[in-house]
Amino acid sequence: MRRKLVAGNWKMNGSRASLVELDDIAAAAVRLPQVDVGIALPATLIALAAERVPALPIGAEDVHTNDQGAHTGEISASMMRDAGARFTIVGHSERRADQHEHDLQVKQKAEAAHRQGLGVILCVGETLAERDAGRAEQVVTGQVAESLPDGAASDWLSIAYEPVWAIGTGRTPTTANVAAMHGAVRAELRRKIGADAEQMRVLYGGSVTAANAAELLSAGDVDGALVGGASLTAEKFIPIVEAGAAIDRAISG
């Protein structure tokens, strides 16, 4: 059975004072060992967080495609690792939309992160217009195929399916919709990497809350969650981790 992974993404939020939230999250991660937990933070907070809660995996929200060079304002994977990051998100829909990132860039960022020993959560997802046009599965599996890094393997890479229209809106697809899309992603992974696709975690992201976490995490082929707004406070994030742990206990008997 694949272990659940619940990862938070603070996006462009947080300050030094906000890091107090990580204390309870780190304690919950120890208390609930059935679930892997990590928090991706703005680059300004990574070193501080890694020092404050060394047992909790701290991640970056993005990395550059190159290891170093004349790229003013950018941050490389080696710099993120040096600051204390243990994983990174790449290809988040907000970067695909706002920074016009395309699949090749996402692939190159994942490869850059892996070169530096970082774990990777690679995001894919469709817009509402694409879903309404009946192209959701085609779009998402196409992103998987084109964004998947060379040497992709389950011991360092996870895929996060995040329907763009559900992020931060409070709207979520039905459990059946989620299970169907995760199944399609898994099938594409089988086509691309073979048997190891069965071990690769496919997370769901898109307005995950304490209220809907148990239902979403119980859906077929859902191996965890990428959590946005609810990860900003321990009060809202820990119940999502607890939901994942409860499902593991139920399955394990």
Q: Known catalytic residues?
A: 92, 162
Contact by Cβ (8 Å): 247, 218: yes
To which H or E segment does residue 152 belong?
none
Q: What is the three-class DSSP state of 78?
A: helix
Contact by Cβ (8 Å): 241, 6: yes
Contact by Cβ (8 Å): 244, 4: yes
Cα–Cα distance measured from residue 223 to residue 201, given in angstroms and rounded to the nearest whole number: 5
Instruction: Give the residue from 87, 226, 103 showing the smallest Cα distance to 167.
Output: 226
Q: What does the DSSP assignment read for 119-148?
A: EEEEEE---HHHHHTT-HHHHHHHHHHHHP
